Amino acid sequence: MLLPSVSPQCLLKKGADPHHFQLTPKQASALNQARLLIRSPRDDKHWSSFNMAPNTFALWNMQKHPHHEPTHAWLNPKEVSAALPKLAQAISHLYPMDSDSINIHLHDSTKMTQDMWHQWQNFIEDNNLKQRGVMMQHPSWQGLFEALGVPIRGVLESAQHGQEYGPRKLEKALAALQKYPQTILIGDSNHSNRALLWLQKHSLHRFTKLDALGHCGEPWLDLMQRNLKTLKIYMANQP
């Protein structure tokens, strides 16, 4: 978004589950040689190997959220918009000859994130999601839905890997679906959706999968629009 001429390198392959990521020796070497490592501290803090990178930029201000660190904040256009100026500053330090271009892209990207926020707001209003609510396997999209005022009827797995769902949680989720029959179910394309499959089997609900990670080099705008399109198709087939 800020420096289109530079191609990022990503640690995860397309479709990989980040919970099972293991840094390889080749990747460790690449981290040591990287001009800039961009990270999301709340989501990758268990990857202690990141501490070896010489030049690191944390997208989200941890001190700003001392009691509720944002997770998967790149899915929230407002969080992205707030992070862009500091990211632009960090990139300009590495590429001073491109600082004017970076500032132009910063202006355009800020407008882009604001427009994307309004697109999601319109989708929420058009589909009555503030009354319907959502239930999800994994909390990837929880921050965005909460920011949009959508009730979270249930999250079947926590953000901490290993804290899995059990029979009582499944029964509670099924009861919530019976109480709120118009709830929509959100799965994750990079994650197991076994709990949602169970709920789908024991109710009339069907779930859709959203992609929280995208693939390396995919523009942020494309990622957000692709997921919004997925939800629109899903909602078009809901009773």
* pLDDT tens profile 153-187: 999 886 555 456 678 888 999 999 999 999 999 99
Q: Where are the domains of the chain?
A: 122-236
Closest residue by Cα to residue 21 from 42, 38, 37, 45 = 45
How do residues 68-80 score in pLDDT, each as one tens digit?
Answer: 566 889 999 999 9
Query: What topology does CATH give the domain 122-236?
Result: Rossmann fold (3.40.50)
- Of 83, 114, 112, 87, the C-alpha closest to 102 is 87
Report how far residue 118's alpha carbon sits from residue 30's, in angstroms, rounded to the nearest whole number: 38
**Full-model pTM:** 0.88
